[in-house]
Structure 1
């Protein structure tokens, strides 16, 4: 007596469906990655600025100038001077950066990223 062998595996239709889902995920990832890369550049510039000797005693305009020089190196195009605010705290400044990034996704659908971060700048003396 012959036994029937059953085949197992994906059909062409299910393979194409999986391929479309993966491709869409990669496409969305390619749109989101630069936004988050820029955010980490902003965080890095703020942390670097917090280590600057005497930053707690500087005027906000000088601190902002140093911040944007660091961002220029990392090529940040979405953070503008209007997005940077300073509040006086004991021994220095609290720097807040709040900005929004909008990227076109498909047709008239956009991906919007809102980023809000702050850093205390209290280093007063020279090492």
Structure 2
């Protein structure tokens, strides 16, 4: 008969369960991290367009076209022109709101929504 001091470690079933959890977390990371990296590219391009002198005075179509050109160069594929708005109020803001749907397993999808507002400079 074994005493408590002689039995140590994890059982095979426990090890398999931990391994499954680690692999699932890695799989989620592989699927979702590129989406967030893509979003950081969107944010940096929005900041670049917003920082251009006189961007607040440009027509919305021009601001949208400038941003879409920069996003195309950065290989951003999730943002479409209809996701980009220029809002005029107290100040002029560039708004990008979009969502990305990523297939995970079977009939399970992840939907990630992004919305970013950048003030345009005068």
Scaled by the length of structure 1, what TM-score is found?
Answer: 0.86
Q: 1-side partners of 2:74 and 2:27: how far apart?
A: 24
What SS does the aligned partner of 1:76 have? coil
User: Whose Rg is larger?
Assistant: 1
Does structure 1 residue 45 correspond to structure 2 residue 45? yes
Give the count of matched residue pairs: 120
Q: Report deviation, 1:109.
A: 0.7
State the match for 2:99 in structure 1. 100
Q: Report deviation, 1:78.
A: 0.9
Deviation per residue, 1:89-117 (Å, 9 max, x gap):
35x62111111100111011100001111
Q: Report deviation, 1:73.
A: 2.2
Q: Report deviation, 1:60.
A: 1.2
State the match for 2:29 in structure 1. 29
- The 8 Å contact of residues 50 and 94 in structure 2, kept in 1 or not, is answered as no
Q: 2-side partners of 1:8 and 1:110: how far apart?
A: 40
Scaled by the length of structure 2, what TM-score is found?
Answer: 0.89
User: Where do 5+ consecutive residues of structure 1 fail to align?
Assistant: none
Q: 2-side partners of 1:108 and 1:57: how far apart?
A: 46
State the match for 2:111 in structure 1. 112
State the match for 2:73 in structure 1. 73
Q: 2-side partners of 1:87 and 1:57: how far apart?
A: 12
Q: CA RMSD in A?
A: 1.8
Q: 2-side partners of 1:111 and 1:13: how far apart?
A: 29
Q: Report deviation, 1:85.
A: 1.0
